[in-house]
Amino acid sequence: MFSLIQELISSEKCKNLQEFLERIRSSLESNIKKADSISSVLIDKDFFDEVKNIVLYGHIPLFFGKSLRDLKCIVEDDNNRQHEIYIHYNGPKKLSITLIYIPYSTFQDQEYSSIEDIIVAFKKQLSYLKDYLNELERIDRLCTVMEPVNPTFKDNYRRIFLDNRSWLHVEVTAEGLGNNISILGNSDEWSEKLQSRLMVWDHDKDIVENIMNVFDLINFASPQNITCLPEVVTDQVPVCNICLSVELPDNSGVPQPLCSNSICGVYFHRNCLFQWLVASSGGRHPTFGVASGNCPTCLKPISCSEKDG
C-alpha cells in the first residue's frame, strides 16, 4: 500500500485529491476482498459456529485438547450413563472419531461433516448396545471385578473374584449374552460346578443371576489382601503379543483383548500397546493421553489410553 501511495504521488495519474483518494479506496477494497477469500479457505465458519452453539447452550459438555483440532464430548445415553467421544478435526466438514469406550464398530471409521452427525451416529450405536451396557454395568455393580483394573464399556470381558484361588472369566456379547465362560485358577470345586451346571445357563436371565445359579451363590465374596492374579495354568492366560510375556515386573496387569476386532482376538499389556502406538506415530505424546494407530496384529484401527480407564 505504501508503494502504491508513493507511485501515485510521484506520477501524473491523479489530477486532483479526489481522484487520488478514489484510487486508494479502490485498492483497499480489492485487498479486503482477497483477505475475505483467504479467510474463508483457512477458517471453517460452520465448524466454529457449531462449537460456539454447543458451548453457549451447554447441552453437551465439550472440551478442547492441546489444539483446536482435538475435542472431547460427553454424551448421555437413555440410562443417564456418560460416554466420552474423542474427535479430530481433519478439515472443513471432515471430522473423525479417534476414541470411544465401546466395542469397535465400522461407524468409527467414517468421516463426518459435523459434531452433531457424530453424536447422532454414536447414540444410535449406544441404543444397539443397550443390553450389552446394562449387563456390564450390573456386573460391575454387583460383583467384585478384578480385571480390568478400571473397567470400561470398551472392555467386553470381566474377571470376577470367587475366592483367593479362583476368578471367573466371562465375556459379554453385543446382544448382552454371556460368552467364553471359564475358571481362572486351580480350584476343582469351581471348575466342577461350572462344567456340571453350565447347561442350565438361561439366556433369558441376566448374566449375574446365571452366575449365582450356576455356583449356588447368595452374594459375591470380596478379596482379602489380594492384589494379583491367583495361580493359573500358563495356557489359560494369553501372553502379550508385543513383549511375549504374561507378567511384567513394573506392571501388575495381565494381557487383555484390547483390539476391538473380534476376529483378531490378540492380547496386549495396556502399557506395551500404548508405547507401541506412540512409537509408531513418531514418538510424540498423544493428546488426552490416548494413542491411536493400527493394531500390530490385524492392522485394524485401535486406540489405547496411557492409564487404565
pLDDT in tens, the chain (309 residues): 455 445 544 555 555 555 655 665 666 666 555 444 434 444 578 888 888 888 787 678 888 887 778 999 999 999 999 999 999 999 999 999 999 999 988 999 999 999 999 999 999 999 999 999 999 999 999 999 988 888 999 999 999 988 877 889 999 999 999 988 888 876 788 888 888 888 888 888 999 999 998 888 877 766 654 444 444 444 456 788 888 778 776 666 778 888 877 667 788 888 888 888 888 877 777 767 788 888 888 788 888 887 664
Nearest Cα to Cα of residue 286 among 69, 59, 53: 69
Angle at the Cα of 73 (from 172 to 98), degrees rounded to 5? 65
At 28 the pLDDT is 60
- Residues 118, 95: contact at Cβ < 8 Å? yes
Nearest Cα to Cα of residue 215 among 196, 194, 199, 230: 194
- Residues 237, 229: contact at Cβ < 8 Å? yes
> How do strand 111-112 and strand 145-147 relate by DSSP bridges?
unpaired
The domains of the chain, with CATH numbers, are 45-128 (3.10.110.10), 138-236 (3.10.110.20), 238-309 (3.30.40.10)
Residue 158, C-alpha cell as written in the block: 470381566
Spatial separation of the C-alpha atoms in residues 88 and 286, rounded to whole Å: 12
In the DSSP assignment, the letter for residue 230 is P
Residue 115 C-alpha from the chain's centroid? 16
Strand partners, 178: 172
